[in-house]
Amino acid sequence: MSQKKKIQKALRKDVAAPGTFSGDTKQRKYHFFTFLDFNHVVQTLIFSEVLLLGAFGLLAPTFAIFIGESISGDPIKTASIATTVYLLTRSLGQIPIGMMIDRAKGERDDLLAMVLGTLFAGFVPLLYMVISTPMQLYMTQFLYGLASALVFPAWMATFTRHIDVRHEGAEWGAYRSFVDLSMALAALVGGYIAVRYNFQLVFLIVSVVTFFAAFHLLSLRSLARKHGGHGEI
């Protein structure tokens, strides 16, 4: 048999029937609600991001208004610098933190980075409740940027290692969909709470949900051992 025919034969065997995952021995039908079919590590990671990003999504529609009402000085200038401090800290921190995670053996360092970063993020809304000057806001945004720089590389590395083979598109798609939906709903709810009650209640809710996300990540220790083949956390 020629090399060309061998390749064509292999491709024909690998092509899945319509509505199924290619190469899946169970030939599960593909549908939008496949979250429960994902392995538990991926489920836990997605749920933790839904909690974390959904919680901070509560702040999205009202954060600039909070700065104008609660922080002294020019609100536009203050909001611009605060955003710059957060993004600059996050962008400069992610690469060296990611390199340190790559050098360490196993996944305990990934879990530690995710948990610590999420815990740090949980303190940010509490600080918003007590600050009143631009410099205090910038320092808080620095902490927020550091927290994000800790979480993102570790989360991405762990998710990449544990993603189900031939389900990559579904799991990445589910991740983005669930996170975006949670942030959309959170923006609506956060705006309502801020108008109906006050910013302090919004900040408290964000903090509580973020701390819950951090403790939820600790379940990855046992989940990683159950689903071997990717190393242990």
The pLDDT confidence band at residue 26, using thresholds 50, 70 and 90, is very low
Tokens of 126: 């509490």
Using alpha carbons only, give the angle 123, 124, 126 rounded to the nearest 5 degrees.
65
Helix 40-57 / helix 108-128 crossing angle, nearest 10 deg: 20
Report the distance separating Cα 204 and Cα 13, nearest Å. Answer: 55
pLDDT at 12 over 60: no
pLDDT at 120 over 60: yes
Q: What is the average per-residue pLDDT within 196-223?
A: 90
Q: Model-level pTM?
A: 0.79
DSSP string, 102-133: HHSSSSHHHHHHHHHHHHHHHHHHHHHTT--S
Greatest pairwise CA separation for the chain in angstroms: 79
pLDDT at 210 over 50: yes
Which pLDDT value is given to residue 87? 96
Which pLDDT value is given to residue 33? 55
In one-letter notation, the amino acid at residue 191 is G
Residue with tokens 């529609």: 61
Residues 121 and 148 sit within 8 Å (Cβ to Cβ)? yes
pLDDT at 37 over 50: yes
What average pLDDT does the structure give for the chain?
82
Q: Which of 106-115, 162-171, 172-181 has the lowest mean pLDDT?
A: 162-171
CA distance between the termini of the chain: 47
Exposed, middle or buried: residue 30 (CB in 10 Å: 0-12, 13-18, 19+)? middle
| Secondary structure element (H or E) that encloses residue 8, with its range | helix 3-14
Residues 180 and 53 sit within 8 Å (Cβ to Cβ)? no
pLDDT at 96 over 50: yes
Tokens of 44: 């836990």
Tokens of 180: 């975006």
Q: What percent of the chain has pLDDT over 90?
A: 58
- Between the alpha carbon of residue 55 and those of residues 47, 60, 185, 206, the distances in Å are 12, 10, 10, 5
* Residues linked to residue 20 through DSSP beta bridges, in sequence order: 29
Per the model's pLDDT, the better-predicted residue between 116 and 60 turns out to be 116
Per the model's pLDDT, the better-predicted residue between 32 and 198 turns out to be 198
Q: What is the average per-residue pLDDT within 68-84?
A: 92
Report all structural domains of the chain as residue ranges with CATH numbers, in order of start. Answer: 38-226 (1.20.1250.20)
CA 157 from chain center: how many Å? 12
Report the distance separating Cα 71 and Cα 78, nearest Å. Answer: 8
Per the model's pLDDT, the better-predicted residue between 30 and 175 turns out to be 175
Which pLDDT value is given to residue 109? 87
Three-state DSSP state, 20: strand
Which pLDDT value is given to residue 94? 95
Q: What is the average per-residue pLDDT within 132-154?
A: 96
Tokens of 67: 């700065």
